Chains A and B, each alone.
Chain A
Amino acid sequence: MKTNSKLLSAPYTVWMTIFIVLPMVLVAYFAFTDKQGAFTLENILSVGQYSNVFLRSIWLGAVATAICLVLGYPMAYIIAKLPAKRQSVMVMLVMLPMWMNFLLRTYAWMTLLEDNGLINAVLSAVGLPKVHMINTAGAVVLGMVYNYIPYMVLPLYSVLTKIDGSVIEAAQDLGASDRKVFLKVVVPMSMPGIISGVTMVFVPAVSTFIISKMLGGGGNLLIGDLIDMQFLGSAYNPNLGSAISLVLMVIILICMGIMNQFDDGEDEGKGGIML
Chain B
Amino acid sequence: MNNPNSTIISLKDITVSYDGEQVLGGFCLDIHDGEFLTLLGPSGCGKTTVLRTIGGFIRPDAGDVFFNGGNITALPPHKREVNTIFQKYALFPHLNVYDNIAFGMRLKGKSEAEVKETVHQMLSMVNLSGYAHRGIGQLSGGQQQRVAMARALANEPKVLLLDEPLSALDLKLRKDMQVELKKIQQQTGITFVFVTHDQEEALSMSDRVVVMDGGDIQQIGTPTDIYNEPKNAFVADFIGESNILDGLMVRDFEVRFAGHKFRCLDEGFGSNTPVDVVIRPEDIDVVEPDSTHITGEVTNVTFKGVHYEIIVDVAGFKWMIQSTDYRAVGDRIGLSLTPDDIHVMSKSQYSGMFGDYSTFSDEMEEDIIATEEAQQEGGEDED
Interface set of A (CB-CB < 8 Å, partner B): 164, 166-167, 169-177, 180, 184-185, 188-189, 191, 267, 270-271, 273-274
Contact = CB atoms under 8 A, between A and B. Distances in A.
Interface in B70-121: 76-79, 82-84, 86-88, 90-96, 98-99, 102-104, 107-108, 112, 116
A174 B155 contact: yes
Contact of A172 (B77, B96, B132): B77
B86 A170 contact: yes
B133 A274 contact: yes
Interface residues on B, range: 20 to 34
Interface in B114-130: 116
B103 A166 contact: no
Contacts of A185: 92, 94
B86 A169 contact: yes
A273 B94 contact: no
Given A170-B84, A174-B151, A175-B155, A184 B96 contact: no
Contact of A174 (B56, B104, B132): B104
B55 interface: yes
A175 B81 CA distance: 9
Contact of A188 (B88, B94, B108): B94
B78 A176 contact: yes
Contact of A270 (B88, B93, B99): B99
Contacts of A169: 55, 57, 77, 84, 86, 90
Nearest to A181: B78
A167 B100 CA distance: 11
A271 B87 CA distance: 28
B95 A174 contact: no
Nearest to A177: B78
Given A174-B103, A184-B103, A270 B95 contact: yes
A170 B99 contact: no
A189 B91 CA distance: 12
Contact of B92 (A167, A177, A191): A167
Contact of A170 (B90, B96, B112): B90
A242 B303 CA distance: 83
Contacts of A167: 90-93
Interface in B151-195: 151-152, 155
Contacts of B94: 185, 188-189, 191, 267
A267 B135 CA distance: 11
Interface hub of B57, B91, B94 (most chain A Cβ within 10 A): B94
Given A184-B103, A274-B99, A173 B84 contact: yes
A171 B76 CA distance: 12
20 contacts: A164-B88, A164-B90, A166-B86, A166-B90, A167-B91, A167-B93, A169-B55, A169-B77, A170-B86, A170-B151, A171-B92, A172-B77, A173-B55, A174-B152, A176-B78, A177-B78, A189-B93, A189-B94, A267-B94, A274-B96
Given A170-B92, A189-B93, A175 B57 contact: no
Contacts of B98: 274
Contacts of B102: 274
A170 B90 CA distance: 6
Contacts, number: 81
Main secondary structure of the interface of A (DSSP, over half): helix
Interface hub of B55, B78, B82 (most chain A Cβ within 10 A): B78
Contacts of B95: 188, 270
B133 A176 contact: no
B34 to A, nearest CB: 21
Contacts of B82: 173
A58 to B, nearest CB: 30
A173 B83 contact: yes
Given A170-B91, A175-B155, A189-B93, 9 more contacts: A164-B90, A167-B92, A170-B90, A172-B77, A172-B78, A174-B107, A174-B155, A175-B79, A270-B95
Contacts of A170: 84, 86, 90-92, 151
B78 A173 contact: yes
B92 A175 contact: no
Interface hub of A169, A173, A177, A274 (most chain B Cβ within 10 A): A173
A261 to B, nearest CB: 17
Contact of B132 (A166, A171, A270, A274): A274
A186 B97 CA distance: 18
A133 B381 CA distance: 55
A172 B57 CA distance: 9
A173 B96 contact: no
A271 B93 CA distance: 14
A171 B103 contact: yes
Contacts of B87: 166
B333 to A, nearest CB: 52
Contacts of B103: 171, 174, 176, 184
B104 A175 contact: yes
Contacts of B77: 169, 172-173
B107 A166 contact: no
Contacts of A173: 55, 77-78, 82-84, 152
Contacts of A176: 78, 103, 107
Contacts of A273: 112
Interface in B271-300: none
B137 to A, nearest CB: 13
A131 to B, nearest CB: 45
Contacts of A177: 76, 78
